[in-house]
Amino acid sequence: MRGSDGYADNVFDELTMRYEEPNSATRWDSPLFTIIQNDPNDKLPFDSIWDAIVERRAPPPTFSTAVKPAEETNYQFELDRATQDVITAILDSQKSGVPMSYVVVPGSSEKVNMPGRNLTLSELRRLRMQFSKLNRQAPLQVGQIAESFVNYLNINL
């Protein structure tokens, strides 16, 4: 509606410029029923609409429409804490000055295999950020974070 009872003229013009005509080939506009009723005796396709709404199976979900599994509300905090604990254990073991072939870390039965050189904080932070990005897409159970991070470090060091 345009004018004093509806949208301002410039808003209405902007809305009409953004209008996209429905396309039955796209997932979002399917099924598309075009109903042009010039004659009052024309019948509406009630059977087709009923079949599309009630009888037809929904298309399989895509990545953008799939329901993500519920994750714990403090998952990001737990991820940060567990990975920081592993990094702290590695840096503390390097402070002793004694070369080590592995480091035992809290929260994991796995050990970090040391590459034969001291690891820098920036290198460990970079690996931590990569690990965190991977786990935002497919979250782990909180109890598995430290062990998975140790495995990730063993592969990438």
| Res 31: pLDDT | 81
- Those residues whose C-beta lies under 8 Å from the C-beta of residue 157, and which sit 6 or more positions away, are 112, 113, 114, 115, 119, 127
C-alpha to C-alpha distance for 46 and 130, rounded to whole angstroms: 53
pTM metric for this prediction: 0.52
| Res 91: pLDDT | 86
Rg from Cα positions in the chain: 29
pLDDT tier, 49 (very low <50, low <70, confident <90, very high otherwise) = confident
Residue 18 predicted with pLDDT over 70 = yes
pLDDT tier, 68 (very low <50, low <70, confident <90, very high otherwise) = low
- Number of residues that make up the chain: 157
> Which of 20, 52, 19 is CA-nearest to residue 33?
52
Asked if residue 100 lies in contact with residue 115, where contact means CB atoms within 8 angstroms, the answer is: no
- List residues bridging with 2 in a β-sheet: 7
Q: Identify which has the larger pLDDT, 35 or 128.
A: 128
pLDDT tier, 73 (very low <50, low <70, confident <90, very high otherwise) = low
- C-alpha distances (whole Å) from 22 to each of 13, 14, 26, 35, 62 are 19, 18, 8, 13, 20
| Res 1: pLDDT | 59
| Res 7: pLDDT | 85
Residue 53 predicted with pLDDT over 60 = yes
State the average pLDDT over residues 126-149: 84
pLDDT tier, 71 (very low <50, low <70, confident <90, very high otherwise) = low
Half-sphere exposure at residue 77, Cβ-oriented, CA atoms within 13 angstroms: 3
pLDDT tier, 111 (very low <50, low <70, confident <90, very high otherwise) = confident
Residue 45 predicted with pLDDT over 60 = yes
Asked if residue 116 lies in contact with residue 125, where contact means CB atoms within 8 angstroms, the answer is: no
How many CB atoms lie under 10 A from the CB of residue 91? 15
Helices (H), the chain: 9-18, 46-50, 75-95, 121-137, 145-156
